[in-house]
Amino acid sequence: MAKREDKESKFLDAKGVKDLINKSTGMKNAYNLLMDDPTSVKGWIKSGNKLLDSNICEGKIVGLPKGRISMYVAESGVGKSFIAIEHCKQAIDEGIHPVYFCSEPGGIEYDFLIKVLGPERMEQFTYVEITYMEEMFETIDSLLANTTNEYLFVWDSLAATPSRMEAEGGFDASSFFAVAAKAASLGLKKIMIPLSRRNCTFLILNQVRENIGATKYELMSNATKFKIPGGKFVVFCCSLVILLLAKPTKSNAVLGANQEKIGKHGEAYFLKSRFRTEGRSIPIAFTWSGDTPHFHDEELWAEALKERGFIKSSGPSTKIFFKDGSEQKIKLDDWMEHLKDKTFKKRVEDLLDEAFIYNYKADDDIILPIDGLIEE
């Protein structure tokens, strides 16, 4: 019980209430929001993909929100680890220290890392093998308490990391019902506020599981064929949840010069966003092999603009409609050649800003029933 300092109660103005709370707790956790706003995002960590970064927050080109928890959920091979490493690359360039926790032996290869990050960034990248999730949360807690670095923590992956009880117990799965979800929930509860106060960022990578028992209607949608492991509280903690799925076609592969598979085409669904972009979806694609693994960003601008009605085809003719009301005939097969014209490229970038940042129309958004996708 709090100690009462005076026999008589006294009236305090708002500043007095704030000061008393901060004095009693021994730290600054009460604020005048006109002077100091702890609720707003204080920076972002970009992915390097203009289309993705333009759709995370309404009205801005941003990235992962600093001081918050975000999650990419994906099928295998659709690029969640690649996107995470791209965020790490951007973080290093901003003086942020990435710490990558991986529970899968060989889950991410050295050769791949050095190709994406470059040798000059590898010294600033910390890779940590973990046996169980409590080990990771204890490490994060210690780093936040004992260092002053700004961090980007990446967890690869939630679905593959056991709790301590699971790691040290037997093989009878029935005795571990919801144990991992409870361990993840407790860990996130403990680090949420310290992350925010230190403006450090936590990115969860998660693997979808097949939606056993899905209805015929659910199986008709590419996004509801799956379940998200981890429980509802994990999703509740996240400011941003993006679902990455392969295109639901046989031709979703990115092919090389000899028709070999070198990457994949997919879709990104914004399942949850505290930045007013929930329900959006955009095309994504990446190449993972060769000397330069990379996003296919500019190559997908035409597809994204076509979905928003700024590029229209009628028979053999295709036109792009610019902000100023003018139009131009184009050939989609020659899209990358068109972009070599600097004036044309600048007008397309302005059009992307108009379509996704300044004047986004949500008429075609798909609001997926996220609660129904979560695996308990």
Instruction: Count CB neighbours of 231 within 10 A.
Output: 18
Tens-level pLDDT at each residue, the chain (376 residues): 555 555 567 888 888 888 888 888 887 888 887 777 777 899 999 999 999 999 999 999 999 999 999 999 998 888 899 999 999 999 999 999 999 999 988 778 899 999 999 999 999 999 999 999 999 999 999 999 999 999 999 999 999 999 999 888 877 665 566 888 999 999 999 999 999 999 999 999 999 887 655 544 444 455 567 889 898 999 999 999 999 988 877 678 888 888 888 899 999 999 999 999 999 999 999 998 888 899 999 999 999 999 999 999 998 899 999 999 999 999 999 999 999 999 999 999 999 999 999 989 876 676 766 777 777 6
Q: Report the SS3 class of residue 37.
A: coil
pLDDT for 147 equals 97
Co-location of 333 and 238 in the same domain: no
List, in sequence order, every residue forming a beta bridge with 253; answer none if it has no partner: 264
Q: Tell me, what CATH number does 154's domain have?
A: 3.40.50.300
Q: Report the SS3 class of residue 288.
A: coil
The number of residues in the chain equals 376
5 belongs to a structural domain:
no
Distant-in-sequence, close-in-space partners of 62: CB < 8 Å, separation ≥ 6: 44, 46, 53, 56, 275
Co-location of 97 and 198 in the same domain: yes
372 belongs to a structural domain:
no
Torsion sign (Cα): 65, 71, 77, 81: positive
Distant-in-sequence, close-in-space partners of 374: CB < 8 Å, separation ≥ 6: 227, 228, 230, 231, 232, 235
Co-location of 225 and 238 in the same domain: yes
Judge whether 117 and 93 are in contact, CB under 8 Å: no
Count how many domains the chain has: 2
337 belongs to a structural domain:
yes
9 belongs to a structural domain:
no
Co-location of 128 and 158 in the same domain: yes
Q: For residues 135 and 77, give the distance between their C-alpha atoms in angstroms, rounded to a whole number.
A: 27
Of 248, 277, 296, the residue that ends a domain is: 296
Q: How far is CA 140 from the centre of its chain?
A: 19
32 belongs to a structural domain:
no
Cite the beta strand spans of 291-371 per DSSP E: 294-295, 311-314, 317-321, 327-330
Distant-in-sequence, close-in-space partners of 55: CB < 8 Å, separation ≥ 6: 268, 270, 277, 280, 282, 356
1 belongs to a structural domain:
no
Q: Which of 47, 91, 35 is nearest to 72 (CA)?
A: 47
Co-location of 51 and 68 in the same domain: yes
Co-location of 307 and 292 in the same domain: no
226 belongs to a structural domain:
yes
Co-location of 289 and 310 in the same domain: no
Distant-in-sequence, close-in-space partners of 376: CB < 8 Å, separation ≥ 6: 178, 181, 231, 232
Range of the domain at 353: 301-361
Judge whether 203 and 158 are in contact, CB under 8 Å: no
Of 246, 262, 296, the residue that ends a domain is: 296
pLDDT for 176 equals 63
Q: For residues 125 and 96, give the distance between their C-alpha atoms in angstroms, rounded to a whole number.
A: 10
Co-location of 226 and 245 in the same domain: yes
Co-location of 307 and 269 in the same domain: no
Q: Which of 47, 88, 90, 38 is nearest to 67 (CA)?
A: 38
The DSSP secondary-structure symbol of 103 reads -
Q: Tell me, what CATH number does 321's domain have?
A: 3.30.250
Co-location of 312 and 231 in the same domain: no
Co-location of 116 and 136 in the same domain: yes
Co-location of 121 and 211 in the same domain: yes
Helix count and strand count (H, E) for the chain: 14, 17
CA 31 to each of CA 2, 7, 67, 83, 200: distance values in angstroms, whole numbers, following the listed order? 21, 27, 17, 35, 20
14 belongs to a structural domain:
no
- Pull the structure tokens for residue 40: 């707003």
Of 296, 311, 339, the residue that ends a domain is: 296
